[in-house]
Every structure is written in structure tokens, then in C-alpha cells.
Structure 1
């Protein structure tokens, strides 16, 4: 097997960005606001329509806002629990995996202050395409929150999404916030954060500086990055996505500034126009980089070039790679493998259709052995070809179950609105899978002598697939049924049959307790009524009436019991004269 080859394209992406007009246009929009906000104590915004790259909504903050931010260090995180009932606008960010998170308190306060105006902006420009939302400093935090607000209102399958570009923006939330955004790849890819090593402001909310500033010796990380970061230095630039590495590199780039600055000096303005022009010139005139010829790993080579490009040392004493370099490579490798292995059900659904086709074929050829369910349950050896066929069905059964368990697990992790959409998209395939494969699980369960499959043996992913199907029924167009199903609608039908057979055995053995006898009679009455309802609605397959089927085995037992106690019933009448014409 070939070894997985990984590489980093952070340099190429960075060069593409700085040589395009995208960043320059965004910064020009911010600069126009800065000319008007030098003495204004709030974040300001302005809309620029008909720009070459589309509509731009720009946010910029004054130096007074920056000073306010610095003064709140150490008490600037507010949890989603604290916001409930006060300003719960961003509750949608939480997911099943990360339901609770914390965000920058000052950013939430400013957003709340601007809420009425931002609501109008969302209504007027939320569907504009293309749309760029940009911001500088604390304005970048507002731009990020506004972008998240827009993304929440978009359908999961939307192809045109806003792009958020921030300059020198502080980190916005804690690790749970970062993970909640990262769980939506389409959200995470909507954010580009430009940070210069000449701009100390983004370092302010990075622990351990934050903890020290608050008078604490704790080294606990409070803030975590999300999205793509374009890190810029005098020597060059590079892009990074992996959160852990990005955080360490932000600390490494800004440490010399944070060490030597007091909060008042941080108020100096960083002009990204000059920085971008310098990087654009370097990118166009760049010489070919030279690396040690012994470095054969393309990922390691790429990371070293990226670190050197942003002015970060890659070697320690004796020319050995330092810990920052090795940790960055290790984190990048895990990140790339995780992205490569992201579960995308659409990529494998066609393969699963092939597996389902095998089961459909088996269902058709199993009629001579009592039908699909009983043929599998009895597992008759037969010829060598029959044995190989059964082994193939077991294999397909296993593959399908693994696939659908994974889908159900992924949907459970997703935010509510995304999960509902995915469930509806895959409802037809998931329902067919459940009705085709669960009978095989039931057959395995009762062949081993177990009882009470529904309460004791049923897999949780079947329960959820059935629950989602029932929840989605109002959204389905249901036509009047005039012929029998090829698949039994109730995927637990054969479990009910097996329990009914067990109830007949209890009534026939003459040694069961009165309580067991009473319970068995009630179970049989319920099952008889249920079967008749399913027959009337054509919800069962004609194969249940095959002579060797478990259903007919139950019926032969129950008809004797029923003649003694019931006499006549709709099911008894149907089985006497109509069942052969059911199909």
C-alpha cells in the first residue's frame, strides 16, 4: 500500500491572496471609515456597493474601543449560559457536541449596541452575492459575529456565502466556540483573518499573556482561532488553518511586541495597506527558496518554508528542528488527515446502492426457502454457490450497517437546522436500508435464542432512522396505496412475529403462570389487530404468506388457539379466503 503523501499549500494560498485585489479593496473600505472614526467612541460601519469584488460591508473601531478592550483583560469572556435571557442571539452557534461556549464580552456588547442597525443590514444585504464583510481590530470581531449571523440564516446547501476578512482582529471565542464553528466546514471556510507581526493588538487575547495581565499565573488557554489565518511579517507571509499551530504561531510572532509594550502603546495604528503592498511586491519578485536537500518529506518542507516566510525560527541548537517546528508539522499532519477523512455520505452512497442491490437480488431468489427473512434466519447450507452467496450477503449487511451507523452519528453531532436538512435528504435511502437490513438483524437475534428484540436488542441507529422518518411524514407527498409493499413498512415486523410465536408456545405448554398466560393472550390480540391493519393498508409484503415463512408458522399455531377462544375475526376471515390474492 502506498504511503499517504501530505503537503501544505499555505505559501501558495498566501501568495494568491496578497497578489489579488481582494485584501486591498477590503482594507481601502476600512481606511475610509478610519478617517471618520478617530474620535468616535464606537465601532462604525459603512456599506460599499458595486465594488469590483461585490458589495463590501466594513467595520472599524476607534482607539477608544481598543483601550476599553485592553482594560477588560482577564474578565472579557462571557458564556452562552450567561447570555441566555439577556442576549441569546448567538445560541445557534452551539451544537450537540459543543452546546455551551464563551465569546468575547466586549464584542457581544458592541454587537448588542448596534443590533437594530445590523438587523436592517442583514435584511437589505444578507442575500447579496458576492458579499464581503470586513473589519479591523474590534471591528473585525463585529464583522465575524455578523457573518455568523448571516450564515445561520442560509440553507445548508447554499452555494454562495459571504466571505469575512478581518485585519488585526483579536480572537473571538473559547475552544468550544472554535469547535462549534469548525464542525460546519462551510462556515469555517468563510473566514480569513489577516494578522501582521507588526500589529500587537491580536495578541492581547491570547493566553498566557491574558492570564498574566489579569494577575494570574494560570497558563490556561482562553481563546482559540477558527477559519484561515494569513500571517504576515516583513520577510513574507503564509496561511495556516490548524487551530493549535495557528495559536502557537500567533504567540511566537507577537511575543516580542507583547513583552515590550504597555497597554497604552498598543493603541498605535497598524496600516495594513503598506504591509500588503510590501508582501505583494515580495511575492512577485520572490526568489526560489533553498532547503536542505536531505528534507524529503513534502509536508515538512512546506511547513519550514512557511515558518521561514513569516520570520519564525525553525531550528534550535545544533541545527535540530525546534519544538515549534515539529509540533506544527505534527498538528498539520493530523489536521490534513482529519480533513481527508471527513465523512461525506454523498461520496459513498452510490457504493451503498450496489450493496443494497445484492440484498434485493437475495430477496428475489429466497422465495423457495420461505422468503427473505426466513432464508437468512435458517441459514441452510445448500451448495457451495449458496454458501458463497450467503457470505456475500453477510458482508454487504455489515458494510451497510457501518455506513448508516456513521451517518446517524454524524447527523446527531450536527446543529439542529443542518441535521434536519440532512435527515430529509437521506430519508428515502435510510428508510429503505432500515426496512431491508433490520430484518436480518432480527433473524440473527432470534436464531441465537434471544427474546424482546425491540426493547433489548434493537440498535439505536434504527430507532433514530424510524423517528426521523415519522417526523418527516408531514413533508412527504403520500399517494393512496393500491398494491402490496415489496418491503414491509414496519422494519420490526418479524420481531413481532417471533414474539407472537413465543406467546403461542407459552399458551400451548400448559405450565406457564396465569400472569404469563394473560400477557401472551394480550400480545396475540394486539399482534392480530396490527397485522390486519397492515394488510388493509397494503403495508406488508406478499412474501409473509409463503408456506415456509415464520408468519405462516405463527398463523398455523394461532389459528388453533383462536378457534378455541375467538371463533371468528377479520384476520381469521381474511386468512380463510383472501390471503392468496393479496399481491
Structure 2
């Protein structure tokens, strides 16, 4: 999904745009990871956190309970906000527990700012207790920080690209802060400016409800990039052990966003959220893990950048292996999964893992082919609408009228239109359901192109539905008893958009 905020940024941020747009279609996880590392985004974010920690270590007031440090740095080409916490604060939060706090409890805590994540279909979610406790403890300061990155007149984010970054639980706060920003961004034309959140060694911050809310708004999901080293225990602490008896992992925490998994050998990007937890669990078992500081990520990012173009150093002979399987093996080796071993049971486990990842990748590839660019899909709908306009003209030449011609069903063309009407209705019903699923506090947001097309659809298709409704002589009052809900919402959203335009400044 394209990240519109970075279209006007500097060159290395433009690289990030390519990453966000192309990662799920054209390039492998290894190539994508190299692209991001080479874009300077990770180096920039690590540097911002390191500078903040250096300043915080000299601060005499850093001994207070649950100490969150943050720094806003406005440059000419970009703006960064870095979050970090002291080692003492991290230990204190770990002692308090990493359980989840439900959205209902958040309301009771007088912290309802994330209630926009609840929708008709996704009525609840939960957030990591340590992260939300820290967020609430510093809510006043975070509110002031939020005002500093918005234009006082327009209410929009500053013109320069915004990078929100953090390490460990500081990364979790960075994710929550970014979510908070996303809810307040105006949903209008031109495309809104969106922040990019980059975390290092951050634990998962929510459950399936939070993940579902993010996946239903793909533009938001593309705003999060999580970097995890194979020797860092902290981001893996909330993942349950894999249960070999049931062949599944029973876990409450769920990931969202895109992950870059790193080791001394390299790194790979993983956008399949079902696979992320499994890979993190494997690296936790195979590598000696402990909680790592930001210096660990600074070192690993610098090391990766120095050998970003080095490839193909596998000790396995992959010349006879199919390209998909070879690519999976290379990615597993890059993130620190040991593929060459003398232990028979480890070989079997690796073979099963490769087979499952290969099957999963084939499923995702098939889904990606079917998931067309929404604009292309809309163009297909416009072609179908042109067929309907042609039918309208034919009815005129017959001297019967559009409504009566379809109601009487006298010819084969009338029956063909029934199939065409069903196709169009299915598209718009699914579209309206998709809009309703997106997390939003009030009303619905549709781009003008879809609003205009939806109005044409109602103008052409609803009269046919009315004719079909009254074909049965016993039926009465279509407006109250026969009208489909998707017509009502499309009309309501169109009226809301017209009203919003009237409130805005006049245009010649």
C-alpha cells in the first residue's frame, strides 16, 4: 500500500515509498530488507534513539518511576520523534506483567482515545498493559507533543515527512502514539499525510481485535515497520511456545505492520503476519536470547548496511532447488535460523518448516493475483455501467421506458440486464461493507471517485430494483420496506460529502 506522506520527502524517503507500495507484489523479503536498510531509514531512526538515550543518561531526573523520554527533532527534510525508557522502567513494567488490557477497561481508565478501533464487526480489542500504562502516565506530555507536529490552522501534520521511532517498550509507545495520530488525520483529498512508525525490539502490543482493525485499513497497516534481532528476547516475550502436539501456537498477542527480522548473517522482510510469530519462536529456541539495548540494533544496522549487496553465501547447495524453496531457505538463514545441522530431528523440523512456508507463500501469491488494484476494479465496474447505459438507450428507442421495460421482462436483453445488475450490486454491497469495517470514529470516508461512481450506480440500478420489488403486486412502500441498506449508506455518504464541500471555501 502506497504511503502518501513520503511523496514529497527526500530521496531516501522516496525509497521507503517504493518499499511500502511494492513489497507485497514484486520483490522477495531479502530484496525488500536490503532496500529498506539501504534507504537510511533504519540508521536514521537508530541514531535518533541513541541520541535521546545519551541525553537521558545525563538527566538527573531520570530515576523517577515509569520514566518515558522522548525527543522531537525538526529537520529541513524530515521530522523525527524518538521514544525510549530507562532500564529501570523496563524492568518495572516487566514485573507488572505483560497481560492485555481490554478496550472496555481503557474506557474505565478514562483513556477512550483508541475507541475508533472498534467497529460494527470488530467490537473490541486489547493493548499490552505495560505500554498503555506508560502511555497513560505521560498522557499530558504526549498531548502537548502531538500539538507540536500539527499545523495550528489546518490541523494537519507538518509538511515534512514524520518518522516516529522507539526501542523496546518505547517502541510500543511509539506505535500507540502513531495510532493516535492516524485517527486525527483528515480523511479528504488530496491523500492525507501519514507518519511512518519504526520500532526496534518492541513486543507485540495488541490482540486479534487490534490486528483486525489495522488490516481493515491497509493504508494504516503500512505505517508500521518493526525491526527484530534474533538475539533480542524482549519482542519474543509475549509469544507462546509452539505446541508440537496440536501443531499450533495458542497465543493472545498478534502482530500487525511489516517486520524486518535480522541476524549477523543478514535480514529479511516478512509481511505475512501468520508467519511472523512462528519465525520469532524458532529464532528464540535456536539462538541465545536476552533483552538487548539500542546499541545492539545500531551495530546490526551498520553491519547490514556494509554488506547489503552480499548474497548467496548459503552453505547448502541450492542449485538444484526450485526458486521459491531456495528463496525461503536463504531468508531463513538470513534471519538466523540454522539450516545446516547434524541433528536428525532438527533436519526434520527445518524440512517441515520450509514445506509449510512454501505452501503459505503459494496461497498468498494466489490471493495477491486475485486482489486487484481497487482503481482497476472500479474501471471494470464503469465498463459494466456503460453496458447498462446502452440498455437504457435501447429502451428509449423502443418507446417503452427504462423502468417498464425491465419490469415486464419481455426480451432476452432484459434478462441479461438482471445478471449485470446482480454483478454491480454485489460489488457495491461488498464495497460498503468494507468501508464500514474500516476503523473510524464517525461517518465514512470514500474518495470522490467512488462517491461519484456510487451515485451513478444508484441512479441506474435502483430503479431496476424498484421495478423488481413492485413486480409482485402485493408489495408496498419500497422506501421503508424494500430498499437495501447499501443504497441508504451510499446516499448518506454522498450527502455528507456535498455538505462538507458547501462548508469549505467557495471555488470558482
The TM-score range, normalised by the shorter chain, is: 0.7 to 0.9
Q: Are residue 43 (structure 1) and residue 68 (structure 2) matched?
A: yes
Identify the residue that residue 13 of structure 2 maps to in structure 1: none
- Does the 8 Å contact 1:169/1:202 carry over to 2? yes
Q: Are residue 420 (structure 1) and residue 444 (structure 2) matched?
A: yes
Give the distance between the partners of 2:386 and 2:395, measured in 1 at CA. Answer: 14
Q: Out of 346, 354, 359, which is 1:330 matched to?
A: 359
Q: Out of 484, 487, 493, which is 1:462 matched to?
A: 487
Give the distance between the partners of 1:476 and 1:359, measured in 2 at CA. Answer: 30
Deviation at 1:240, TM superposition (A): 0.5
Q: Would the alpha carbon gap of residues 30 and 6 (structure 1) be closer, same or farther in structure 2, given more than 3 Å must change?
A: closer
Identify the residue that residue 222 of structure 2 maps to in structure 1: 189
- Does the 8 Å contact 1:369/1:375 carry over to 2? no
Could you list the per-position Cα deviations for residues 133-192 of structure 1 after superposition, in whole angstroms to 9, with x for gaps in the alignment?
111111111111111111112134535321111111111111111121122111111111
- Does the 8 Å contact 1:8/1:299 carry over to 2? no
Deviates more, 1:229-238 or 1:316-325: 316-325
Q: Out of 178, 184, 192, which is 1:147 matched to?
A: 178
Give the distance between the partners of 2:138 and 2:74, measured in 1 at CA. Answer: 21
TM-score, reference length from structure 2: 0.79
Give the distance between the partners of 2:493 and 2:339, measured in 1 at CA. Answer: 52
Identify the residue that residue 309 of structure 1 maps to in structure 2: 334
Give the distance between the partners of 1:173 and 1:404, measured in 2 at CA. Answer: 32
Give the distance between the partners of 1:471 and 1:452, measured in 2 at CA. Answer: 29
Q: Are residue 72 (structure 1) and residue 96 (structure 2) matched?
A: yes
Q: Are residue 346 (structure 1) and residue 369 (structure 2) matched?
A: no
Give the distance between the partners of 1:30 and 1:40, measured in 2 at CA. Answer: 19
Q: Name stretches of at least 5 consecutive residues in structure 1 with no aligned partner.
A: 210-217, 382-386, 479-583
2:463 match: secondary structure: helix
Give the distance between the partners of 1:274 and 1:414, measured in 2 at CA. Answer: 39
Q: Are residue 28 (structure 1) and residue 59 (structure 2) matched?
A: no
Identify the residue that residue 237 of structure 1 maps to in structure 2: 267
- Does the 8 Å contact 1:45/1:60 carry over to 2? yes
Deviation at 1:208, TM superposition (A): 3.8
- Does the 8 Å contact 2:50/2:295 carry over to 1? no
Q: Are residue 177 (structure 1) and residue 177 (structure 2) matched?
A: no
Identify the residue that residue 295 of structure 1 maps to in structure 2: 321
Identify the residue that residue 202 of structure 1 maps to in structure 2: 235
Give the distance between the partners of 2:294 and 2:171, measured in 1 at CA. Answer: 14
Identify the residue that residue 528 of structure 1 maps to in structure 2: none
Give the distance between the partners of 1:109 and 1:434, measured in 2 at CA. Answer: 48
Give the distance between the partners of 1:329 and 1:8, measured in 2 at CA. Answer: 16
Q: Out of 245, 267, 275, which is 2:300 matched to?
A: 275
- Does the 8 Å contact 2:406/2:464 carry over to 1? yes
1:108 match: secondary structure: helix
Q: Would the alpha carbon gap of residues 433 and 229 (structure 1) be closer, same or farther in structure 2, given more than 3 Å must change?
A: same
Identify the residue that residue 12 of structure 2 maps to in structure 1: none
Identify the residue that residue 360 of structure 1 maps to in structure 2: 389
Q: Would the alpha carbon gap of residues 474 and 267 (structure 1) be closer, same or farther in structure 2, given more than 3 Å must change?
A: closer
Could you list the per-position Cα deviations for residues 458-504 of structure 1 after superposition, in whole angstroms to 9, with x for gaps in the alignment?
433234334445555644669xxxxxxxxxxxxxxxxxxxxxxxxxx
- Does the 8 Å contact 1:192/1:229 carry over to 2? yes
Identify the residue that residue 10 of structure 2 maps to in structure 1: none
Bigger radius of gyration: 1
- Structure 2 counterparts to residues 259-270 of structure 1, below 5 A: 266=291, 270=295
1:350 match: secondary structure: helix
2:71 match: secondary structure: strand
1:410 match: secondary structure: helix
Q: Would the alpha carbon gap of residues 420 and 276 (structure 1) be closer, same or farther in structure 2, given more than 3 Å must change?
A: same
Give the distance between the partners of 2:466 and 2:121, measured in 1 at CA. Answer: 31
1:416 match: secondary structure: coil
Q: Would the alpha carbon gap of residues 400 and 250 (structure 1) be closer, same or farther in structure 2, given more than 3 Å must change?
A: same
Could you list the per-position Cα deviations for residues 308-353 of structure 1 after superposition, in whole angstroms to 9, with x for gaps in the alignment?
2112145876966533323333334444444554475432333323
CA-based RMSD:
3.2
Could you list the per-position Cα deviations for residues 78-117 of structure 1 after superposition, in whole angstroms to 9, with x for gaps in the alignment?
1111111421121122333323100011211211222222
Identify the residue that residue 113 of structure 2 maps to in structure 1: 89
Give the distance between the partners of 2:180 and 2:449, measured in 1 at CA. Answer: 24
Q: Would the alpha carbon gap of residues 300 and 285 (structure 1) be closer, same or farther in structure 2, given more than 3 Å must change?
A: closer
Q: Would the alpha carbon gap of residues 343 and 448 (structure 1) be closer, same or farther in structure 2, given more than 3 Å must change?
A: farther
1:402 match: secondary structure: helix
- Bigger RCO (CA 8 Å, 6+ sep): 2
Give the distance between the partners of 1:314 and 1:267, measured in 2 at CA. Answer: 24
- Does the 8 Å contact 2:286/2:337 carry over to 1? no
Q: Would the alpha carbon gap of residues 87 and 418 (structure 1) be closer, same or farther in structure 2, given more than 3 Å must change?
A: closer
Q: Would the alpha carbon gap of residues 318 and 65 (structure 1) be closer, same or farther in structure 2, given more than 3 Å must change?
A: closer
Give the distance between the partners of 1:268 and 1:377, measured in 2 at CA. Answer: 72
Give the distance between the partners of 2:441 and 2:113, measured in 1 at CA. Answer: 16
